[in-house]
Amino acid sequence: MTAVTIVEVGPRDGLQNEKASIPTESKIAFVDALSRSGLKRIEVTAFVSPKAVPQLADAEAVMRGIVRGPGIRYGALVPNETGLMRALDVKADEVAVFTAASESFNKKNINASIAESLARFAPVMQEAKRRSLPVRGYVSTAFWCPFEGRITPKAAADVARKLFDLGCGEVSIGDTIGKATPKDVRDLAVALASAGILDRCAGHFHDTYGMGVANALAAFEAGITVFDGSAGGLGGCPFAPGATGNVATEELVWLFEGLGVKTGVDPAKIAEAAAVIEPALGHPIEGRVFRALRKGSRSSQNPS
Amino acid sequence: MTAVTIVEVGPRDGLQNEKASIPTESKIAFVDALSRSGLKRIEVTAFVSPKAVPQLADAEAVMRGIVRGPGIRYGALVPNETGLMRALDVKADEVAVFTAASESFNKKNINASIAESLARFAPVMQEAKRRSLPVRGYVSTAFWCPFEGRITPKAAADVARKLFDLGCGEVSIGDTIGKATPKDVRDLAVALASAGILDRCAGHFHDTYGMGVANALAAFEAGITVFDGSAGGLGGCPFAPGATGNVATEELVWLFEGLGVKTGVDPAKIAEAAAVIEPALGHPIEGRVFRALRKGSRSSQNPS
């Protein structure tokens, strides 16, 4: 294996928890800058209730405003048929549905059991299939749940399996609260392989405890070749205010290119895109590659 | 292998680049808090010229002020015999000497060729041996040099080998500018194993490009069992102002404990120690485990 695919989720997963109201034009400029980085897949927004996620209330305007790059798939999260119709209306190239591996988390997050949320996706999947629209599934809290603690690999793999059975072409396995370590990743990879779905799963890691890059390494070596990243490490962990967010896209690129694995993505261009959105956030970008690349250099007297 | 040793270098490597003049009492309180975390080795300071590193001009006062915990080795960096004598005077349990794997870096850093710096250590090593004082060696820029670029594994292994030949009991292999990826780490591990010294080497990683934890994982799996960390991720990269510093001790602990590998260290206590020094820094602590553990929790509506 000499290549991986990176799915940029910054404009959606990265921005949805930001407190400042980010102007639509800034979001469009951000996505347009990302489109110049070599990325082939960008999750642009979510067609969810503006009451639930006010930050993404301008989903249509963003999708309509971006300049689409050649060969790039622009996706959007949809919770139900209404969301799907909105996404289709603005010609999303791909949609994503989401559920959790933890019953408690799903209840708290979307007020539905896992089974109920899967049932809710059935008509979405049917309509998407009719239109040959690719559907990605998200399994959040696939390793750890803030309410239940450890989620068994089997439980997470079962939910992923059900999403494939419903028609998802890819399922992104999310370490929502960032507590997973490479051992957890390897254990889940074994369960996904047993279920025959490992090669269609993506890794979605958060950096809350600094494990994002190490988990991506472990996942890659276990057979995963699609990774979600967020430019500049945008995204918060809603269960740890002030904590860091999604693993940074440019750190994934640094890792994989360093391993001799092609990403097709220019980390400096990702850092540029993060710099485009930074002024609208009201706080500095966290990503370490971002900071290393954007701050220049000087010499020093220090030994190590 | 089910245990690793963590060498805390925050009070020395972490603080030496800090711009604010940190009060001696804050440093002492920091080391004392670290002594309560389960760490068995702490590098407290450096007996270098106060002109070269003004931040550590109070080396004697710090060493004299700390309350030594049982079974903990308190070390100090020494560039030469004068430094060694100062360290002995305040009863350092261990000293460390340093050179680089890159000729250009060594020239710029300490104005000596690698051979010259090794020759300078000979009397230090003799005196340390006479007193049965353990000596650690540091090889900086072991993977990448800001002036020369890539350093070959053989060049780095050769310098490490020479430090062992001089009498070092352990050599810490440093990714000074943080550019190494797990592949570089594995390549160097092969060279260290060929030289017959891998099992006596420590891994010293920086997080400038977010690779610190992933590199520690790769190093551990290649056979390294001693790792340098800095509480809260203290420490800068002098070649990238504003960039992040040493890999955070508490992130190493999170990684290894998650892998089922004992560290003996309580990450919450490391975060507490980082919180002790934070007010004296004039900027927030960067470490992600630190931030996740110190900021509490709340619930949220967000899907992934």
Q: Which CATH number does the domain housing residue B126 bear? A: 3.20.20.70
CA distances from A204 to A247, B15, B282 (A): 8, 34, 34
Query: Which amino acid does the sequence have at A182?
Result: P
Mean pLDDT of all residues belonging to chain B: 93
The predicted pLDDT at position B294 comes to 76
Q: Nearest residue of A to residue B142 by CA position? A: A304
Q: Nearest residue of A to residue B217 by CA position? A: A214
All residue ranges of chain A with pLDDT < 70 are 1, 237-243, 295-304
The predicted pLDDT at position B295 comes to 64
Q: Which residues of A are catalytic?
A: 237
Give domain status of residue B300, yes or no.
Answer: no
pLDDT digits (tens, 9 = 90+) for B56-96: 999 999 999 999 999 999 999 999 999 999 999 999 999 99
* CB-nearest partner of A295 from B178, B242, B289: B242
Residue A176: name the closest of A147, A140, A149 by CA: A140
Tokens at A127, concatenated: 């309509």
Residue A150 forms contact with B (CB below 8 Å) = no
Q: Is A214 within 8 Å of B209 when comparing Cβ atoms?
A: no
Give domain status of residue A302, yes or no.
Answer: no
Whether B35 has a pLDDT exceeding 80, the answer reads yes
Query: Which amino acid does the sequence have at A159?
Result: V
The predicted pLDDT at position B240 comes to 61
Mean of the pLDDT values across residues B43-51? 96
Give domain status of residue B303, yes or no.
Answer: no
The interface pTM score, or ipTM, of the predicted complex is 0.92
How many residues does the structure list for chain A?
A: 304
pLDDT digits (tens, 9 = 90+) for B86-125: 999 999 999 999 999 999 999 988 889 999 999 999 999 9
Give domain status of residue B301, yes or no.
Answer: no
* B237 labelled catalytic: yes
Q: Nearest residue of A to residue B174 by CA position? A: A304
Domain count, chain A: 1
Query: Which amino acid does the sequence have at B290?
Result: F
The predicted pLDDT at position A295 comes to 64
CA gap B272, B274 in Å, rounded: 5
The predicted pLDDT at position A241 comes to 62
The predicted pLDDT at position B287 comes to 86
Stated pTM of the model? 0.93
Query: Which amino acid does the sequence have at A299?
Result: S
CA gap B15, A297 in Å, rounded: 19
Residue A180 forms contact with B (CB below 8 Å) = yes
The predicted pLDDT at position A2 comes to 87
- Reading phi first (left if > 0) and then psi (alpha if -120 to 50, else beta), residue B269 is in alpha
The predicted pLDDT at position A32 comes to 98
pLDDT class for B238, splitting at 50, 70, 90?
A: low
Question: Any idea which of A282-286, B38-42, B173-177, B274-278 has the lowest mean pLDDT?
Answer: A282-286
Mean of the pLDDT values across residues B161-181? 96
- Give the residue numbers spanning the domain of A157: 5-294
Query: For residue A100, which phi and psi values (nearest 5 degrees)?
Result: -115, 160
